[in-house]
Amino acid sequence: MTRRIAVIGGGLIGRAWTLVFARAGCEVRLWDPDAKVRAHALDELAETCRQSGDDPSSIAQVTICADMATAVDRVEWVQENGPEKLEIKREIYAELDRLTGSKTILASSSSALVASRFAEGLAGRARILVAHPVNPPHVIPVVELCPGPDTAPEVMDRAEALMRDVAQVPVRLTREIDGFVLNRLQAVVLAESLRLIEEGIVTPQGLDDTICHGLGRRWTLLGPMATINLNAPGGVKDYLDRYGPTMARLSDSAARGEAFTERAAEIVAADLPAPSQVQELSRQRDTRLAELGRFLRDND
Amino acid sequence: MTRRIAVIGGGLIGRAWTLVFARAGCEVRLWDPDAKVRAHALDELAETCRQSGDDPSSIAQVTICADMATAVDRVEWVQENGPEKLEIKREIYAELDRLTGSKTILASSSSALVASRFAEGLAGRARILVAHPVNPPHVIPVVELCPGPDTAPEVMDRAEALMRDVAQVPVRLTREIDGFVLNRLQAVVLAESLRLIEEGIVTPQGLDDTICHGLGRRWTLLGPMATINLNAPGGVKDYLDRYGPTMARLSDSAARGEAFTERAAEIVAADLPAPSQVQELSRQRDTRLAELGRFLRDND
């Protein structure tokens, strides 16, 4: 039986999710409150396919809906991509809870708000969770699944299975935490990076090269834990015995929130492509990410 | 004119460096104090080529030397890969300083010791620096070039040019800092990762998936600064205006050295391949890194 999925919000993330579900064979219903976004959504999806090398024929699986009620009618899963504003999210979830049956899972792409903030008090809070993608999800497969305190374990099981079925890589968190996992790791890297740059130890380009042509390559194949497991003859415990004290010392002296200064931002901005190039470079990034994804899949 | 390079130390890192220089057309002289290591070095190099897909014919460029003096005779560059023990490094550099002319650059693969520690007091300290690779350098191109307080700027210029000529990616630091750049960034990621794992928020596998199928992929193509430059319509300053306060809050609450606990090590070890598999998995990693490197070079 064809799975039926609703995507709420037709911006960049909503369209990328639409493609994730459609290319996996789901029937996708896309709704956005803005009539203009709805009118251009199919053309934008075709353009997204062109950039990522995805087969545009899967767009035939997508229906643009004129209202939310039609979009979410008898769907298995709602992927919500509304603005990261608490009041708006609360309104959307009250509406989604009212419009959907008890079997429908309501998943938010929220990166900043945890589910308890917008699910609180709703009858359907056991079927609400965060399914946080990396931008954009059609070329980066990881999805953080973060339950609220009332999310049912069975809902988390179904969420994990669905994400695997549509070829994403679900990472299941056991409870809410500010920033989930991915942005917590990004935050510590950004803080220390900005500090090293502002202190003049390294240029922004040099910092990027260190990750891009160094750690990032290892981490693309292995992840930080699998990486250190191979960096000592006796595996991860041997590594932490040998290098743990050094790593602890380095993290003790690492930068924190104070590193996010105006001056660091100025230095980085001066060394990077101008804002006028952001759109074109993002397109190129997505094309290259799609190619990298295919390479990694074929060479696994 | 063929460049002449000496590599001191024939372990994993020394052999990888040997291959880096040899495949770039340099004449490489390899010396190790252990006769057994010297006896097997060429066979080991052939095996390394087999794993990485490098052309083994470049091994013809390598001469195994029976003593340090022969190895470093009239070379342009010495890449030293001795043990990370201060006393041993000091002895090696005193010897290298005595044996080489004023034009020879002495570069250490040291990850833990900065150049001032072992170059102090030597006549040749202006031509001594750290050239810290990522293990192993023949499949990961980044090299951190870190001067000591007495390293001549002209030496740093030549070091940077040579590294580019042998197809590595040099990252030039302006002054000494504990851990250089790469291990400082690795340290903060490890600290926060171990904390999230020990607190049960995520499994080691989930943590690795978050990087491997998420941040790591972006960072392989772009680096952290270029990444955030594309994550807001107005570029990096727009990003830091919008998300800087959130990222600052997340890094303020991030783990530090206290996260390197015995218990975290146990949890990670239990979820990862056993130490008996480390050697075979390392070989597979290097093969895959070499393939990824070729993919990235061909798709740049």
Domain CATH number, residue A271: 1.10.1040.10
Asked if A299 has any chain B CB less than 8 Å from its own CB, the reply is: yes
Judge whether A292 is closer than 8 Å to chain B, CB to CB: yes
Between the CA of residue B25 and those of A53, B32, B49, B57, B232, what are the distances in Å? Answer: 38, 22, 15, 11, 44
Residue B72: exposed, middle, or buried by beta-carbon count in 10 A (0-12, 13-18, 19+)? Answer: buried
Quick one: pLDDT band at residue B191, thresholds 50, 70, 90? very high
Q: Which of A112, A214, A256 sits opposite B134 (nearest CB)?
A: A214
A150 and A194 part of one domain? no
Residue A101 sits in the same domain as residue A168: yes
Chain pair A-B, CB pairs under 8 angstroms? 391
d(CA A2, nearest CA chain B) in Å: 27
Residue B299, pLDDT above cutoff 90: no
Q: Is residue A62 part of a domain?
A: yes
The answer, yes or no, to whether residue B165 has pLDDT greater than 90, is yes
Per-residue pLDDT reduced to its tens digit, B20-60: 999 999 999 999 999 999 999 999 999 999 999 999 999 99
- Boundary of a domain, candidates B122, B143, B172: B172
- How many angstroms away from the CA of B265 is the closest CA of chain A? 6
* Token pair for A195: 């500090």
Q: Contact, B229 vs A273, CB < 8 A?
A: yes
Query: Which pLDDT score, from 0 to 100, does residue B77 have?
Result: 98
Q: How many domains does chain A have?
A: 2
Alpha-carbon distance of B145 to B143, in angstroms, equals: 6
Task: Tell me whether residue B177 is in a domain.
Answer: no
- Show residues of chain A in contact with B257, CB under 8 Å: 247-249, 251-252
> How confident is the model over B141-162, as pLDDT tens digits?
999 999 999 999 999 999 999 9
Report if residue B287 sits inside a domain. Answer: yes
- Among the partner-chain residues B245, B275, B289, the one whose CB lies closest to the CB of A221 is B289
pLDDT at B242 over 90: yes
Give dist(CA A90, CA B50) in Å, integer.
58
Interhelix angle B35-52/B278-298, rounded to 10 degrees, is: 50
Co-location of B141 and B248 in the same domain: no
Residues A225, B204: C-beta atoms closer than 8 Å: yes
Same domain, residue pair A283 and A192? yes
Q: What is the mean pLDDT of residues B166-194?
A: 98
Per the domain annotation, does B291 fall within a domain?
yes
Tell me, what's the pLDDT at B300?
A: 78
- Nearest residue, CB atoms, B224 vs list A211, A250, A264: A211
Q: pLDDT above 70 covers what percent of chain B?
A: 100
Cβ proximity of B176 and B151 under 8 Å: no
Q: Rounded CA gap, A142 and B210, in Å?
A: 6
Give yes or no: residues A140 and A30 share one domain.
yes
Residue B1 has pLDDT above 80, yes or no: no
Mean pLDDT value across residues B222-236: 96
For B214, the closest of A182, A233, A285 (CB atoms) is A182
Enclosing domain of residue B18: 4-172
Contact B201 A288 (CB under 8 A): no
Q: Are B107 and B79 in contact (CB under 8 A)?
A: yes
Tell whether B145 is within 8 A of chain A (Cβ): no
Specify if A177 maps to a domain: no
Are residues B202 and B54 both part of a single domain? no
Task: Convert the pLDDT of each residue in B75-113 to its tens digit.
Answer: 999 999 999 999 999 999 999 999 999 999 999 999 989
Question: Can you give the CATH number for the domain in which B90 is found?
Answer: 3.40.50.720
How far apart are the CA of B52 and the nearest CA of chain A, in angstroms?
14
Residues of B within 8 A of A298 (CB-CB) are: none
Q: Rounded to a whole number, what is the distance in Å from the CA of B263 to chain A's nearest CA?
A: 10
Final residue belonging to a domain, choices A115, A140, A172: A172
Alpha helices, DSSP H only, in A216-273?
A: 216-221, 223-229, 235-252, 262-271
Strand extents, DSSP E, B103-222 = 105-108, 128-133, 142-147, 169-172
> SS3 of A212, please?
helix
Same domain, B149 and B186: no
B262-271 and A235-252 helices cross at what angle (nearest 10)?
Answer: 140
Q: What distance in Å separates the CA atoms of residue A59 and residue B92, rounded to the nearest whole number?
A: 65
* B81 and B119 belong to one structural domain: yes
Of A147, A172, A197, at which residue does a domain stop? A172
- Position A276 scores a pLDDT of 97
Q: Which residue of A has its CA nearest to B214?
A: A142
d(CA B57, CA B55): 5
**pLDDT score for A1:** 78
Blockwise average pLDDT, block size 10, chain A, 300 residues: 95 97 98 98 96 96 98 98 96 98 98 95 98 96 98 98 98 98 98 98 98 96 96 95 96 97 97 96 95 92
- Is A191 found in the same domain as A143? no
The overall average pLDDT reported for chain B is 97
On whether both B229 and B134 belong to a single domain, the answer is no
Put the strands of the sheet holding A77-80 in their side by side order: A62-64, A27-31, A4-8, A77-80, A105-108, A128-133, A142-147, A169-172
Nearest CA of chain A to the CA of B107: how many Å?
A: 18
Residues B130 and B159 placed together within one structural domain of the fold = yes
Quick: pLDDT tens for B109-137.
999 899 999 999 999 999 999 999 998 99
- Among B residues 182-221, those touching chain A with beta carbons less than 8 Å apart: 182-193, 196-197, 200-221
Interchain pair A202, B171: CB under 8 A:
yes
Residues A159, A217: one domain? no
